[in-house]
């Protein structure tokens, strides 16, 4: 769009109005659009003990998502065919209206076969491990719905109840391998059989969906933190998006501020004599990070390693101190940012890096 100051005076007023209007129209339209959601609560199993808590959990999650403006397909006691049909409908909706947020919640029994997790509809009858292939729904299918590239951002919340007396491990973290879209959020809880109350995940999730702003990294991090206080549930898998993505209530960009006349004047640098360079002592491998740091893009390898040591000392990081800010380091930075009430971007500004440097003295 043509900058308002480049137009004649007669047209400038109209152009300024259009310029501000364009800013409002481009305010993260993905987050402002009505989201699409699939919520599944499997309770009345034919061959397994009933799960009334899953029905209550699904109702509560569906109501919270509707309150955010989501279009919700709520499946209560869906059979295998009904779940596949609902998944197909959601895929078509996201294809027809791309760049809208997607949310999938499932509460019900889960099992595994050949190190792959399966969720079970109420119609499932699993008498031997291989029955999961024909009676269950591959959990990866639910993940593929929200990670298929059509949604602006997607979240899968899996409330998995292990099948009673099932000796096989439930590898819910098998879905968190490389290649997941950077906008995807995934959390899975392994929960002991619920009673007549919502599951711990639902109890944590529902209040966080009441908005008006719901940002995916903070949402999943808060659920993880709250589930740590439950004895009947644990976080079995977690994948955080690479940056802040919004299911609802994305913040507006700052208003346009025309440059002042002073900013257009040429700047003449004063003539100064640079002080002689003084070699700094070589830092030892275990030395603490310097008190003042640049943003991470300007950091040296030594400074990056020091940041990792600071995160490890504070209990946020337990991986290799190699100076590479990979997935584990990004997750540790987000956890620290959450604790200090900073935007959970996973990237350090100069101010944040310096604050982290001084926080473990």
- By CB atoms closer than 10 A (0-12, 13-18, 19+), residue 360 is middle
Give exposure, 2-22, as e/b (b: 16+ Cβ within 10 Å).
eebeeeeeeeeeebeeebeee
Say how far apart CA 316 and CA 310 lie, in whole Å.
9
Which segment, 18-22, 28-32, 82-86, is predicted with the most confidence on average? 82-86
Q: How many CB atoms lie within 10 A of CB 343?
A: 17
The predicted pLDDT at position 360 comes to: 65
The reply to whether CATH 3.40.50.1460 applies to domain 33-248 is: yes
- Name, in order, each residue with C-beta under 8 angstroms of 72's C-beta and a sequence gap of 6 or more: 37, 38, 39, 62, 65, 66
The predicted pLDDT at position 3 comes to: 44
Say how far apart CA 133 and CA 80 lie, in whole Å.
12
- By CB atoms closer than 10 A (0-12, 13-18, 19+), residue 295 is middle
| 195 vs 3, higher pLDDT | 195
Share of the chain above pLDDT 90, in %: 41
pLDDT band at 138 (very low <50, low <70, confident <90, very high): very high
The predicted pLDDT at position 278 comes to: 45
DSSP character string of 271-292: --PPPPP-PPPPPPTTPPPPSS
Each domain of the chain, given as residue ranges in start order, spans 1-27, 33-248, 283-358
Say how far apart CA 99 and CA 44 lie, in whole Å.
35
Say how far apart CA 42 and CA 66 lie, in whole Å.
20
Which residues are 185's β-sheet partners? Answer: 155
What's this model's pTM, rounded to 2 decimal places? Answer: 0.64
In this predicted model, what pLDDT tens digit does every residue of 223-240 receive, in sequence order?
999 999 888 899 999 999
**φ/ψ of residue 104, rounded to 5:** -125, 130
Average model confidence (pLDDT) across the chain = 81
In this predicted model, what pLDDT tens digit does every residue of 2-15 receive, in sequence order?
444 444 544 444 34
Instruction: Look up residue 131 and give its DSSP letter.
Output: G
What is the topology classification, in CATH, of domain 283-358? Muramoyl-pentapeptide Carboxypeptidase; domain 1 (1.10.101)
Residue 143 has pLDDT above 60, yes or no: yes
Mean local confidence (pLDDT), 102-122: 95
**Looking up tokens 């996201």, which residue turns up?**
94
| 159 vs 262, higher pLDDT | 159
Do residues 109 and 48 lie in contact, with contact meaning Cβ atoms separated by under 8 Å?
yes
pLDDT band at 19 (very low <50, low <70, confident <90, very high): very low
| 45 vs 324, higher pLDDT | 45
In this predicted model, what pLDDT tens digit does every residue of 169-189 receive, in sequence order?
899 998 887 778 889 999 999
The predicted pLDDT at position 166 comes to: 82
Radius of gyration of the chain (CA): 25
| 280 vs 51, higher pLDDT | 51
Cis peptide before 351 (omega within 30 of 0): no
The predicted pLDDT at position 252 comes to: 61
Residue 265 has pLDDT above 80, yes or no: no
Q: Helix (H, G, I), strand (E, B), or coil: what is residue 281? A: coil
| 278 vs 323, higher pLDDT | 323
Say how far apart CA 104 and CA 76 lie, in whole Å.
14
């Amino acid at each position: 769009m043509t900058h308002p100051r480049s137009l004649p005076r007669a047209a400038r007023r109209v152009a300024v109005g259009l310029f501000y209007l364009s800013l409002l129209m481009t305010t993260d339209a993905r987050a402002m659009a009505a989201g699409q959601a699939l919520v599944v609560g499997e309770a009345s199993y034919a061959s397994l003990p009933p799960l009334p808590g899953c029905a209550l959990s699904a109702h509560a999650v569906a109501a919270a998502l509707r309150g955010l403006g989501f279009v919700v397909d709520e499946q209560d006691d869906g059979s295998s065919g009904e779940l596949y049909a609902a998944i197909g409908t959601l895929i078509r909706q996201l294809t027809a209206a791309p760049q809208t947020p997607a949310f999938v919640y499932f509460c019900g029994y889960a099992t595994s076969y050949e190190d792959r997790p399966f969720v079970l509809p109420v119609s499932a009858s699993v008498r031997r491990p291989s029955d999961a292939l024909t009676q269950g729904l591959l959990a990866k299918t639910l993940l593929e719905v929200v990670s298929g590239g059509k949604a602006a951002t997607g979240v899968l919340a899996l409330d998995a109840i292990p099948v009673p007396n099932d000796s096989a491990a439930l590898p819910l973290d098998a879905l968190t391998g490389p290649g997941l879209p950077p906008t995807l959020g995934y959390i899975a809880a392994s929960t002991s059989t619920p009673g007549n109350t919502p599951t711990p995940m639902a109890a944590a999730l529902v209040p966080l969906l009441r908005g008006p702003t719901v940002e995916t990294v903070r949402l999943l991090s808060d659920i993880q933190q709250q589930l740590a206080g439950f004895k009947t549930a644990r976080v079995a898998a977690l994948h955080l998006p690479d940056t802040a993505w919004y299911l609802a209530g994305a913040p507006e960009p700052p208003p346009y501020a025309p440059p002042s006349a002073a900013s257009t004047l040429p700047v003449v640098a004063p003539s100064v004599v640079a002080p002689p360079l003084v070699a700094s002592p070589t830092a030892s491998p275990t030395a603490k990070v310097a008190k003042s740091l640049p943003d991470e893009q300007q950091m040296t390898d030594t400074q990056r390693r020091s940041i990792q040591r600071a995160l490890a000392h504070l209990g946020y990081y337990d991986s290799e101190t190699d100076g590479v800010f990979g997935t584990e380091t990004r997750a540790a930075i987000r956890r620290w940012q959450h604790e200090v009430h900073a935007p959970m971007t996973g990237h350090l500004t100069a101010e944040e890096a310096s604050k982290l440097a001084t926080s473990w003295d």
